[in-house]
Each structure stands twice: as structure tokens, then as C-alpha cells.
Amino acid sequence: MLMEVTCRCGWTTRGSRSEVITRVREHGRSQHQQEITPAQIRAIWRVVEGSGAKR
Ligand SMILES: [Zn+2]
């Protein structure tokens, strides 16, 4: 299952849960000088329906 997060600046990332958490935290530090907690990320991410993936 893929998760997707769109930042308030328009930056978007998607990936597995752990990938998204890592990338969003790096983005927050480098682009916004802000420390983002995993709980905050879990509050805003959304599930991406796999493109082309069969259920
Ligand atoms: Zn941003």
C-alpha cells in the first residue's frame, strides 16, 4: 500500500509508510526548518490506490 503526502508548499511524495515518513521529515527540515513528527505525518497522509495494481 502506498501513502501520499502533499506539503503546504505543493511538494508531494509517495511511497511506503516508512519511506513517506523519512522523506517528509527530511523535506520539513531542509525546506521549512521544521521538525515534523511521525504522528503529524500519519494525520495528513492518504492512501494511494495502486495504479494498475489488481486487488
Ligand atoms: Zn514543503
pLDDT digits (tens, 9 = 90+) for 22-52: 999 999 999 999 999 999 999 999 999 866 5
Ligand 1 centroid to residue 20 C-alpha, Å: 13
C-alpha cell at 48: 494511494
What is the distance in A from the centroid of ligand 1 to the CA of 49?
A: 23
Cα 33 to ligand 1 centre (Å): 10
Under DSSP, is residue 4 helix (H, G, I), strand (E, B) or coil? strand
What b/e sequence results for 8-45 when a residue is b if at least 16 CB atoms lie within 10 Å of its CB, and e otherwise? eeeeebebeeeebbebbbebbeeeeeeebeeebbeeeb
- pTM of the full predicted structure? 0.85
Centre of ligand 1 to C-alpha 51, Å, is: 25
H/E stretch holding 48 reads strand 46-48
Q: How far is the CA of 46 from the centre of ligand 1 (A)?
A: 16
Q: Show me where the domains of the chain are located.
A: 2-48
